[in-house]
Amino acid sequence: DTGVSQDPRHKITKRGQNVTFRCDPISEHNRLYWYRQTLGQGPEFLTYFQNEAQLEKSRLLSDRFSAERPKGSFSTLEIQRTEQGDSAMYLCASSPGNGRGGNTEAFFGQGTRLTVV
C-alpha cells in the first residue's frame, strides 16, 4: 500500500472552467476527508465520507463544489465555474474509522495544487 494518492498534483485552469480532482485512500480506510489549504494558512475542512455516504459538508463548500465517493473507494472533488479565489492546495486524507486510538489518525495525500488564472 502506497498511502493516499491524489491526482493531479498540479492543475492550472482558466477562470470559469470546471476541474475535477481524484483521491485514492488507503484501501481499508472507511473515512475520507477533503481539506483546502491556502498559502500561510492551516487546512480548512470541506467535507467527509464514511464509506460512500457524505456525512458533512462545510459552509465553505459552495454550490459550485461537489464531492462523491462511489462504492466507498476513491473520491472525486469537482469545482464548477472556477474562480480565482478557488486557488489553493486541496488535501485528501483517509482514516480507518471512528474508533479510539489509532483509528483516529488521518493519513494525507500530497495534495492537488490548483491555480486559477
Q: Based on CB atoms, which residue is closest to other proteins, 74 or 107?
A: 107
- Min. distance of Cβ 75 from other proteins in angstroms? 15
Q: Compute CA 3 distance to the chain's CA centroid, rounded to the nearest angstrom.
A: 15
Query: Who's near 101: CB < 8 A, 6+ residues apart?
Result: none
Work out the end-to-end distance of the chain between its first and last CA atoms, rounded to an integer number of angstroms.
36
Regarding 109 and contact with other proteins (CB under 8 A), the answer is yes
Contacts with other proteins by CB under 8 A: the residue count is: 27
Which neighbouring-strand residues pair with 21?
Answer: 77
Nearest Cα neighbor of 117 from 32, 5, 10 is 10
Stretch binding other proteins (CB under 8 A), from 18-26, 64-72, 75-83, 95-103: 95-103
Regarding 25 and contact with other proteins (CB under 8 A), the answer is no
Regarding 45 and contact with other proteins (CB under 8 A), the answer is yes
